[in-house]
Amino acid sequence: MSGHLLEVRNVTRRFGGLVANSDVTFTVSPGEIIGLIGPNGAGKTTLFNVLVGIYPPSSGEVIFDGKSIGGLKPHQIAKSGLTKTFQNVALFAESSVLDNVVTGGLVNRSLADARRFAAECLERVGIGAIAQKKAGDLSFPERARVEVARALCTSPKLLLLDEVMAALTPAEMEEIIELVRSLRDEGMTFIVVEHHMKAVMKLCERLIVLNFGEMIADGTPEEIASNRKVLDAYLGANFSTEGEGH
Ligand SMILES: Nc1ncnc2c1ncn2[C@@H]1O[C@H](COP(=O)(O)OP(=O)(O)OP(=O)(O)O)[C@@H](O)[C@H]1O
């Protein structure tokens, strides 16, 4: 064992002639909070989808918790402890918050056990009181927490957060940042895709930058904020972590 929780080795993902991820290589250690950033179309969502098994890699290898997972099905990968949040649209609008979260738990639990654990997950993210609310009636900050709770219900070791802070106010983002940090302190590991740079820079200790499918940088927020390639490709010459978004 390398001691890494995740090893992404030379992963390429093609869609026909389009190369969405090109020879991407990096490792993730337990307890890290990593930001995956880059311009629209850079390949962030594709990489998340490859990691959780929605698309197999066209070539390369993904090692999670010491085992090769490239090509496994999403439920097999979720069962092994790697999952991602799904953006708002994927919530069942007519179902209760609790029932939405239970779907996450069914990956590795019986229905009764999943219901019990889903209630715990809702408490853990601070929304136990809205368990019976219809998912279609949620505010943006409530939705963000429901998405995290549903992912937590699969008992992940590594959780990929896909734009959970979109549409939140700075104060609401701050609360999600605190929640993620506290989950990390309990032993979880995170990779975060988020377009709001101030939030990313605050939450993440390390950033990986994609551009046209290629990894162009891997470093601390300070290193990335002054990296010429990243400034040219994404952040722009006038970038400041005080700025909003990109
Ligand atoms: N299922 C698919 N079929 C064909 N092309 C795809 C598919 N999924 C993604 N792509 C293409 O792959 C490239 C990378 O897209 P991807 O969504 O991964 O980028 P992204 O960095 O997540 O962008 P955004 O920030 O806009 O969400 C784009 O050119 C996109 O059009």
pLDDT of amino acid 243: 45
pLDDT of amino acid 93: 76
pTM of the model: 0.92
Upper half-sphere CA count for residue 163 (Cβ side, 13 Å): 13
| Residue 163 backbone zone (phi > 0: left; psi -120 to 50: alpha; other: beta) | left
High-pLDDT (> 90) share of the chain, % = 83
What number does the ligand 1 atom closest to the CA of 195 have? 25
Mean pLDDT across 34-48: 96
- Cα 194–Cα 200–Cα 205 angle in degrees, nearest 5: 130
> Which residue shows structure tokens 């009636």?
137
> Which residue shows structure tokens 């995740």?
6
- Alpha carbon 25 to its chain centroid, in Å, reads 17
pLDDT of amino acid 87: 61
Q: Is 60 in the pocket of ligand 1 (CB under 6 A)?
A: no
Q: Is 18 in the pocket of ligand 1 (CB under 6 A)?
A: yes
pLDDT tens sequence across 79-116: 999 999 976 446 777 889 999 999 888 888 999 999 99
pLDDT of amino acid 57: 97
Mean pLDDT across 2-18: 95
Q: Is 36 in the pocket of ligand 1 (CB under 6 A)?
A: no
Q: Is 45 in the pocket of ligand 1 (CB under 6 A)?
A: yes
Q: How confident is the model at residue 171 (pLDDT cuts 50, 70, 90)?
A: very high
What number does the ligand 1 atom closest to the CA of 21 have? 14
For domain 1-80+155-245, which CATH number applies: 3.30.450.20, 3.30.420.40, 3.30.2350.10, 3.40.50.300?
A: 3.40.50.300
Nearest to 98 by CA among 50, 69, 130: 130
What number does the ligand 1 atom closest to the CA of 48 have? 18
pLDDT tens sequence across 210-245: 999 999 999 999 999 999 999 988 877 556 555 444
Query: 42 pLDDT exceeds 70?
Result: yes
